[in-house]
Amino acid sequence: MSAALCHHCQLPLSGPGQTREIYGKSHCFCCYGCCLAFQVSHGEREEPEAVGLLIRLGVGAFLTMNIMLFSLLIYSGTFGSEEQGLVQAIHFVLWGLATPLLFILGQPFFAGAWRAARGGGVTADSLVSLGTLSAYGYSVQQTISGGVAVYFDTVAMVLVLFTLGRYLEAIGRVKAMRSLTPMLAAERARVVVVEDGHDIEQSVQAITSGTIVRVRPGERLPVDGVVIEGCSECDEAVLTGQSEPQAKQPGISVFAGSVNGMGELLIRTTQAGAATRWGQIGQLVRDALDRKGLAGLFVDRVAAVFVPAVLILAAGTVLFWGGRGPLDQALMAGLAVLVVACPCALGLAAPLATAIGLGQAAQRGVLIRSGGVFERLARIQGVAFDKTGTLTTGEMRLQGVVKHAVAEDELLAVAAALARCSDHPVGRGIATAARARGLALPDAHDLALRPGEGVVGEIGGVSAAMGSATLMKSLCWLDPAGVTAGSSAAPKGCSSVYVGWGGTIHGQLLLSDDPATEARSVVAALGKMGLDTCLLSGDTSAAVAWIAGVVGIERWRESLSPTDKVDALRHWARRQGPVAMVGDGMNDGPVLAAAAVGIAVGTATDLARESADIVLPKHALARLPWTIELARRVRKTIATNIAWALGYNLAALALAAAGLLQPIAAAGLMAGSSLLVTVNSLRLCRASISRPSPASNEIEAPSPVAVAGERMKREKTAPRVVRIGS
């Protein structure tokens, strides 16, 4: 029989089985259990912190389930009135089980409460400690005195559920850390120093001003300095946001963090290795992240109000009953108030909703650094964007050809043949266009790269050139159509490349860095969600204004340095309220960290990813509105969860204050509220089914050519808007 086998248990599949993609490979299983088991035995593991918490939780759950089992037997009336001796014995068993539980699961909460108390504060830890210790103390007293009201199951439930919440938080954090491994490379970069004609490798920290450093083609520059030998083009986009590589020759300044082009450079450093702009940007990022980490958590804020209120209520109860009966009974009633004060559902209220939200996001490739991000993202009032690589693709595309007495394909083929020696985005764009047309490229010889100007060479024995107007002017070639004189100036947002051979300029290629296909619809969707948008770029005024017009952003700032961006964002946020920043470049690191929520797009540099709270997958800017919508839903769920949890506890508190609380009522209320919180959180899974359809990634955008031509006119047709979860 050649039936397919289950990939885990190796049993033949009787039906179609379940096909799942796990770690990038497709596997077939006979049942869901096998699918789980397979994943357990294959794949990565978590950090020790989360594992430790899990073991603690597992052992705690073992004890708790035993406690619950015996409690259920008592509650369900299994033992008749003649078996009271047995019930008393079970109370001692429960005590025996609850004591190690209090040490194993309670210890982190007690430590946290103690830390908070020494600082004069009250947190959720204080609430847990107060509730569990009261319940434990009360129950021990009852057990010894032969009473019936033991709350060991309450102790167990509170501790297990809060620990489960902590564990969910921990695995979320671990996952985020793994995905956003710190990669602030500036401090760890290695440098090749030239000393007495020898190359020596050193750490960037050891570099002083005036050192000679060699940078090979394609390498990232580790130092700031001035070129003393060699010609190349450096891509400074990650540093300045300028999309075009900058020409570098002797005497020109270069900056750490930029990427060297095709030529080798010898650089004399002008700064110590630790004091470069790159290093300073890294420092800015860390400072901003540290500040952001201090924001308090929702649950702690609730606890800060709730704990004093409960203490007052407990004191009031003791006073009230003290005046009407024996003091020990009054004290027990007061203690009962504290017992039910701790809403165990509160432990799950935020972590469960957050964990589900993080899972939903992760399924769509959106990485979120921590649960707190949802809270901040839900509150933002505006979104600021970087231009290059964020709203644009970062790739140059051929938009048009202006020719003079030659075929368009011939012009393009010559340009592409010359472009072979350049790694400039313009050259790549031309090569891509030629490939797309299936052109056969002529052989080019003696190619010479003129940094910042273009390429010259020889094709079929005739000298040929491709490059800027400056290059053409320096060659003094004929310009019969007057293209370089501006008679056919490039549309805004387009770069011109002139192509000529045999002493004549034959035409001009127009290229532009396209707006990302989904950019316009994303901006429109954000507008519909009531969010304002803004464009902050390091690029020139013309390019920024053009892109802003194309994607529909009305507010923009251009020529901003990384620090300027931070200032511009803070200025905007003062008027607008909390704002998010979307960026990708190294120059965006500080501003991403300074924003209420920093969002890096998938192609982002390490620094941008490190600084961001959220990383969107590659080419998936379209998921931004969905992510914001998800955050809003998570926040709403947490708020309702907390309301439910507290509502249930208020009912229990009223019973306790009235001296009517029975252990079964306390357990029932706690279980009920936890169940409600769980169900309410799970609604997030269901609601997220209405996620952005795959088609929304290919949202219709105005054709770049049409845009270049009609950029001044605002398109009347509304672009298709990303559908967001309802």
Partner 1 sequence: MTYYFIILAAGFAGSFHCVGMCGGFACALGRDPAGRMATVERHLLYNTGRLATYCFIGALAGTLGQGLVGQALPGSLATGQRVLALTAGGLMIVMGLQFFGHLQGVHRLVTGFGGNSMVVSLRNLIVAPGRSAPVALGVVNGWLPCPLVYAFAAQAASTADTLQGFLTMLAFGLGTYPAMLMMGAGGQILRPAWRRRGVWIAGAFLLVLGAITVARGVIPFAGHGAMM
List the catalytic residues: 386
Instruction: Tell whether residue 18 is a contact of partner 1 (CB under 8 A).
Output: yes
Contacts of 358-364 with CB under 8 Å at 24 or more apart are: 358/172, 358/175, 358/176, 360/630, 360/684, 360/685, 360/688, 361/627, 361/630, 362/175, 364/617, 364/620, 364/623, 364/626, 364/691, 364/692
Structure tokens at 192: 């090749």
Tell me how far, at minimum, the Cβ of 271 lies from partner 1, in Å. 46
**Best CA proximity match to 623, nearest among 613, 634, 633, 615:** 615
Instruction: Tell whether residue 11 is a contact of partner 1 (CB under 8 A).
Output: yes
Instruction: Tell whether residue 90 is a contact of partner 1 (CB under 8 A).
Output: no
DSSP-H helix ranges across 615-724? 623-657, 663-687, 704-709
Instruction: Tell whether residue 96 is a contact of partner 1 (CB under 8 A).
Output: no
Tell me how far, at minimum, the Cβ of 41 lies from partner 1, in Å. 6
Nearer to partner 1, 39 or 603 (CB): 39
Mark 40-79 with x for binding to partner 1 (rule: CB under 8 A) and - for no binding.
xx-x-xx---xx--xxxxxx-xx--xx-xx--xx-xx-x-
Instruction: Tell whether residue 16 is a contact of partner 1 (CB under 8 A).
Output: yes
Tell me how far, at minimum, the Cβ of 50 lies from partner 1, in Å. 7
Helix (H/G/I), strand (E/B), else coil: 1: coil
Helix (H/G/I), strand (E/B), else coil: 420: coil
Q: Is 701 in contact with 521 (CB distance < 8 Å)?
A: yes
Nearer to partner 1, 15 or 119 (CB): 15
Which residues does residue 698 pair with via DSSP β-bridges, in sequence order? none
DSSP 440-492: PPPPEEEEEEETTTEEEEEETTEEEEEE-HHHHHHHT-B-TT-GGGTTTPPPT
Near partner 1 in 152-191, by CB under 8 A: 168, 171
Q: Is 708 in contact with 514 (CB distance < 8 Å)?
A: no
Nearer to partner 1, 45 or 716 (CB): 45
Near partner 1 in 597-656, by CB under 8 A: none
Tell me how far, at minimum, the Cβ of 136 lies from partner 1, in Å. 21
Mark 322-361 with x for binding to partner 1 (rule: CB under 8 A) and - for no binding.
---------------------------------x---x--
Nearer to partner 1, 18 or 202 (CB): 18
Strands 190-195 and 212-215: antiparallel
Distance from C-alpha of 176 to C-alpha of 372, rounded to nearest angstrom: 12
Instruction: Tell whether residue 33 is a contact of partner 1 (CB under 8 A).
Output: yes
Tell me how far, at minimum, the Cβ of 45 lies from partner 1, in Å. 5
Q: Is 514 in contact with 398 (CB distance < 8 Å)?
A: no
**Region of residue 442 (phi > 0: left; psi between -120 and 50: alpha; otherwise: beta):** beta
- Give the number of residues in contact with partner 1, rule: CB under 8 A: 46
Pick from 4, 19, 32, 325 the residue near partner 1 by CB under 8 A.
32
Tell me how far, at minimum, the Cβ of 306 lies from partner 1, in Å. 29
Instruction: Tell whether residue 25 is a contact of partner 1 (CB under 8 A).
Output: no
Instruction: Tell whether residue 12 is a contact of partner 1 (CB under 8 A).
Output: yes
**Best CA proximity match to 423, nearest among 221, 637, 602, 234:** 234
Structure tokens at 47: 């950090």
Nearer to partner 1, 32 or 114 (CB): 32
Q: Which residue reads 């001044």 in tokens?
A: 712
Burial tier of 298 (Cβ tally within 10 Å: 0-12, 13-18, 19+) = middle
Q: Is 302 in contact with 642 (CB distance < 8 Å)?
A: yes
Instruction: Tell whether residue 27 is a contact of partner 1 (CB under 8 A).
Output: no
Nearer to partner 1, 351 or 394 (CB): 351
Tell me how far, at minimum, the Cβ of 206 lies from partner 1, in Å. 41
Output the CA angle 602-604-609, nearest 5 degrees. 95
Nearer to partner 1, 47 or 409 (CB): 47
Instruction: Tell whether residue 5 is a contact of partner 1 (CB under 8 A).
Output: yes
Instruction: Tell whether residue 9 is a contact of partner 1 (CB under 8 A).
Output: yes
Tell me how far, at minimum, the Cβ of 43 lies from partner 1, in Å. 7
Nearer to partner 1, 178 or 473 (CB): 178
Tell me how far, at minimum, the Cβ of 602 lies from partner 1, in Å. 23
Q: Which residue reads 């649950």 in tokens?
A: 299
Q: Considering only the stretches 1-9, 391-399, 452-460, 643-651, report the one whose residues sit in contact with partner 1 under the rule CB under 8 A.
A: 1-9
Pick from 4, 36, 319, 660 the residue near partner 1 by CB under 8 A.
36
Nearer to partner 1, 36 or 643 (CB): 36
* Backbone phi, psi, residue 396, to 5°: -80, 140
Instruction: Tell whether residue 103 is a contact of partner 1 (CB under 8 A).
Output: no
Give contact residues for partner 1 (rule: CB under 8 A).
5, 8-12, 14-16, 18, 31-37, 39-41, 43, 45-46, 50-51, 54-59, 61-62, 65-66, 68-69, 72-73, 75-76, 78, 168, 171, 355, 359
